[in-house]
């Protein structure tokens, strides 16, 4: 049940997005022909974070940890099971489509796969211009000029506006997706692993484009990725997810300089350093076992089975995400 009755603790203009204890549980059944439900996959299990105006918030973690599901639940593309999503002082968690529709202009998303997210039967000009038409932005005669301006802004030749998505490379298609998201002049954009499907040589171009647009347009971004090097380059603050929960959150500088959670330390130890001498000296942390199933209930810390510093008390109760500027969910780490 989504609670819309509470008022936000902080509804200031500096914190337009405030996500609190967000949960997304998918019920499971005993078989494809059986309607009996016996449990739930806890894809997102109590995620809380804030996004400040004009900042880039990075969300990182292994594949399957709940990053993309979190983004979709915040935007009500997936209905959350519980929790609150405060957008400029209004709890929008679980709003139906008619109530959510006016807010779509403020909250946009750039999807991971730039091909499947674009309509193959529409030209680039139609794809970028469609959001303007839906929200009745600009006079019809001026929309083509706006499309031209947006294509130029994202580094595409406006002469290509009559071409179709299959005529472009992956990097160019992702630029089209960026232009479409910008078409309604949003205040916050979720970037759901926007470079994961691109060649390494193209990734830097798209990342630099997003960084430039964020600063030029004073946008707020939530950048989702599993590549910590990219997230470090873009983000002001970073949240590290594990099994549907944020286990550590800090500024980009603090997280890379002084990681406190053993999972974060393991992730950072796998990031290559472009210095052979340093790379040879540092110690790689290899985690044992596999990521546990999200349908399993844990009495204690969900990372306990893979943690290199686990103690018996870690299995008794789950740690809370605590701290001020540097938050961490670990009994053996101190928050900042």
Our separate counts of H helices and E strands in the chain read 10, 11
227-258 residue pLDDT tens: 888 898 899 999 999 999 999 999 999 999 99
22's enclosing H/E stretch is strand 17-31
Q: What is the band of 269 on the pLDDT scale with cuts at 50, 70, 90?
A: confident
Report the alpha-carbon distance of residue 257 to residue 265 in Å, rounded. 10
* DSSP 8-state assignment for residue 47: E
Summarize the confidence of residues 161-177 as an average pLDDT.
95
Judge whether residue 172 has pLDDT over 50: yes
Judge whether residue 84 has pLDDT over 70: yes
Half-sphere exposure of 175 (CA within 13 A, CB side): 25
Percent of the chain whose pLDDT exceeds 90: 65
- Residue pair 170/195 in contact (Cβ under 8 Å)? The answer is no
Judge whether residue 4 has pLDDT over 80: no
Report the alpha-carbon distance of residue 220 to residue 235 in Å, rounded. 11
Summarize the confidence of residues 318-326 as an average pLDDT.
92
pLDDT at position 35 is 59
Q: Among 7-21, 148-162, 250-264, whose mean pLDDT is lowest?
A: 7-21
pLDDT at position 279 is 61
pLDDT at position 199 is 85
pLDDT at position 176 is 96
Mean pLDDT of the chain: 88
pLDDT at position 123 is 97
Q: Among 18-22, 281-285, 332-336, whose mean pLDDT is lowest?
A: 332-336
pLDDT at position 180 is 96
Report the alpha-carbon distance of residue 174 to residue 168 in Å, rounded. 10
pLDDT at position 336 is 47
pLDDT at position 32 is 60
- Residue pair 177/198 in contact (Cβ under 8 Å)? The answer is no
Q: What is the band of 5 on the pLDDT scale with cuts at 50, 70, 90?
A: very low
Q: Which has more confidence, 203 or 180?
A: 180
Summarize the confidence of residues 201-222 as an average pLDDT.
92
Judge whether residue 75 has pLDDT over 80: yes
Percent of the chain whose pLDDT exceeds 70: 90
113-152 residue pLDDT tens: 888 899 999 999 999 999 999 999 999 889 999 999 999 9
Residue whose entry in the numeric block shows the structure tokens 């071409």: 163
Judge whether residue 9 has pLDDT over 50: no
Summarize the confidence of residues 298-312 as an average pLDDT.
89
Q: What is the band of 185 on the pLDDT scale with cuts at 50, 70, 90?
A: very high
Report the alpha-carbon distance of residue 198 to residue 207 in Å, rounded. 11
Q: What is the band of 10 on the pLDDT scale with cuts at 50, 70, 90?
A: very low
pTM: 0.90
Report the alpha-carbon distance of residue 119 to residue 130 in Å, rounded. 11
pLDDT at position 6 is 40
The SS3 call for residue 60 is strand
């Amino acid at each position: 049940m989504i609670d819309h009755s509470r008022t936000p603790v902080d509804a200031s203009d500096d914190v337009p997005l405030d996500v609190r204890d967000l949960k997304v549980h998918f019920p499971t059944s005993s078989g494809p022909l059986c309607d009996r439900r016996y449990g739930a996959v806890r894809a997102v299990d109590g995620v809380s974070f804030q996004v400040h105006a004009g900042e880039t918030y990075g969300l990182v973690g292994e594949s399957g940890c709940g990053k993309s599901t979190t983004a979709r639940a915040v935007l009500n593309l997936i209905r959350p099971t519980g929790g609150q999503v405060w957008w400029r002082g209004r709890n929008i968690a679980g709003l139906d489509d008619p109530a959510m529709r006016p807010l779509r202009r403020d909250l946009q998303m750039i999807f991971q796969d730039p091909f499947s997210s674009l309509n193959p039967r529409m030209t680039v000009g139609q794809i970028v211009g469609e959001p303007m038409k839906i929200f009745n932005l600009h006079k019809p005669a001026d929309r083509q000029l706006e499309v031209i301006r947006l294509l130029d802004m994202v580094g595409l030749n406006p002469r290509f506006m009559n071409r179709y998505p299959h005529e472009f490379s992956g990097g160019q298609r992702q630029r089209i997706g960026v232009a479409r998201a910008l078409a309604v002049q949003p205040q916050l954009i979720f970037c759901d692993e926007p470079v994961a499907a691109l060649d390494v040589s193209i990734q830097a171009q798209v990342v630099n484009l997003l960084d430039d647009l964020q600063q030029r347009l004073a946008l707020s971004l939530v950048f989702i990725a599993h590549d910590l090097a990219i997230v470090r380059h873009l983000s002001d603050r970073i949240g590290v997810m594990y099994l549907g929960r944020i286990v550590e959150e800090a500024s980009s500088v603090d997280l890379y300089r002084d990681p406190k959670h053993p999972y974060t330390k393991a992730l950072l130890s796998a990031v290559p350093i472009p210095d052979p001498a340093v790379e040879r000296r540092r110690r790689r942390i290899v985690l044992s076992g596999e990521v546990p199933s999200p349908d399993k209930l844990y009495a204690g810390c969900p990372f306990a089975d893979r943690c290199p510093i686990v103690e018996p008390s870690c299995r008794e109760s789950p740690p809370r995400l605590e701290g001020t500027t540097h938050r961490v969910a670990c009994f053996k780490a101190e928050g900042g």
